[in-house]
Every structure is written in structure tokens, then in C-alpha cells.
Amino acid sequence: MPILHLDDADIHYEAQGAGPPILFCSATATAGDVWKFYQVSHFARDHRVVIFDQRGTGKSVARSQDYSNRRLALDAAALLDHLGARQAVVCGHSNGGRVAQCLAVERPDLVGKLALMSSGGASKAQGIPMNMVLELVRLGYEPWLCEQAIDNGFTKTWAAANAREIERFIAVRCANPPPLEIFLRHVLGRQAFDLGARVKEIAAPTLVMVGDDEDRGPPGHVTHFAYAKTLAADIPGARHKVLAGQGHYYYFSAPDATNRAIRDFAAGA
């Protein structure tokens, strides 16, 4: 089991394949196994694919309380340095997109291209969202995680027609979640994220992807659809791609379209 030992964390990672490096960064407090459904085997045919468990999740251990997005980006940078993987295609999903943005700004030498998949941006509200707290109290932590994954991850039409596929996804996405305290510290790090004007410093060619069903949420909530529009406008030369009929987890529900978009982008098509 490959582990990168840092001063305050031990980061579990996996690398498969040979060729140009491609790094996948997962959503909030999410282990790297979600990329094994459809991305790892596909891209390992001609890329060196790297996935990892964020500190405090999966098989990664943290010895500090720093779960800021910058800290997660520095973990990713340390991993790419460790593997000698420069000018990687960095794919960040959801909060992993924030991490990828930080990485592109802090260590541009490591990022050859940037794919922001339903990435978040600067949060308007600090701290843990009250609607999240109320739902966690009402449902409990693990049931809430599963409900959020289903409600936000897939369109109602797709979910109704693919019950077994959703079960397969949830069995991995919600398996062995981090302790609630660590999850909430990841949320606090996410909420504190704000690159400000530095987002315009991102020099790597950038693809901004989002599902067309991601323009919904509680009152006052900035949707991933709205974030995608802002990021595509703010990052110089960014491409904006909307996937029709897709929710947040299109890398699972529409893997062919997702992988083709990333592959075409990585190849410069």
C-alpha cells in the first residue's frame, strides 16, 4: 500500500499506467476509490493515473487539524513531486476543483492542464452551513451523506431508471466515511476558500465542466452551475462544457461523455 509520509499526514495513493500524468482530486472528504469505477482503467491505457485519499479520509491519516484547501493542494503537490510527475493533467471534482485551483496557482510547474469538474469557487458564507447542520441532526451523519450523494448526484430521471447503479455507487462513495469531526473540518476548509483575483493567475489551459442539473440548491446557495459560469469567465481562455441531463456525479452516470471530454481536452482537441 503506497503511502507518502509528510510531517503531519500519511497520504495513501495509487498510480497506474504509463504516459503523461493525470491526477484526480475528489470532492469534499472523499477517498480516491470513486475514480476506479470508470476513470482509472480508461486513462491508464496511455496515462500515468494518480488517485489519492485526502488527509483524514480513506487510508490517509492526519496529525494536525489543518484541512484547508491550500493544505490539500500542498498534499497533492507533494505527491506529484514524490512521483516526479510534472505538467500533469489535474482533474478536480467539486471541492477537489477548489484544491486543483489552489494547486494551479501555488505550483504552476506541476499543472500542464486543468479540468475543473463541477468545481466550487469562493464561498459567500463562512463556517458550516446551517441547513447542513439541521439535516445532519435530523438524519444522522451517514444517512445524510448518502441522501446528499443521490439527490445532488443524479437527475431524478436517471436515478429512477438506475437504482442498482446508484446502490453500486453509494457502496463506494459512502463506504468508511471519515469521522464527523474530520468531515466538518473539511467543510470549514471548503467554506474558507477564496482565491480572489488570483484565480485569474491560472495559466494552464482549463476546461470547466458541469452538469445541466446542477443549478439547484437551498436559498442563498451558490450552485455548481453558477460557479462554472464564473470560473469559465474568470480563468483566461477557459473552455466551458455543460453535460446535458447530468447531475453532480456525471463521471459515474455518464462516464463515456466525461472521459471523452477530458481526453479530447488533454489531447488539445
**Domains (range + CATH), the chain:** 3-267 (3.40.50.1820)
pLDDT of residue 268: 85
Q: Which of 225, 252, 256 is nearest to 240 (CA)?
A: 225
Q: Strand, helix or coil at 48?
A: strand
As a whole number, the mean pLDDT across the chain is 96
Q: Per-residue pLDDT tens for 79-126?
A: 999 999 999 999 999 999 999 999 999 999 999 999 999 999 987 778
Cell 486543468 found at:
114
For residue 269, the model assigns a pLDDT of 57
What is residue 216's predicted lDDT score, i.e. its pLDDT? 86
pLDDT of residue 189: 95
For residue 126, what pLDDT is reported?
80
Alpha carbon distance 46, 34 (integer Å): 20
Q: Which pLDDT does position 124 carry in this prediction?
A: 73
Report the interhelical angle of 180-191 vs 69-83 (nearest 10°).
100
pLDDT of residue 123: 79
Residue 219: pLDDT band (50, 70, 90) is confident
**Alpha-carbon distance 54 to 13, whole Å?**
9
- 253-266: average pLDDT: 97
**What CA–CA distances, in Å, run from 121 to 80, 92, 139, 190, 216?**
23, 12, 27, 9, 16
235-256 mean pLDDT: 97
Percent of the chain surpassing pLDDT 70:
100
Which is more confidently placed, 242 or 218? 242
**177-211 residue pLDDT tens:** 999 999 999 999 999 999 999 999 999 999 999 99
Q: Is 233 exposed, middle or buried (0-12, 13-18, 19+ CB in 10 A)?
A: exposed
Measured CA to CA in angstroms, residue 180 lies from 71, 128, 184, 193, 229 at distances of: 19, 13, 6, 20, 32
Q: What confidence category does residue 157 fall into, taking pLDDT thresholds of 50, 70 and 90?
A: very high
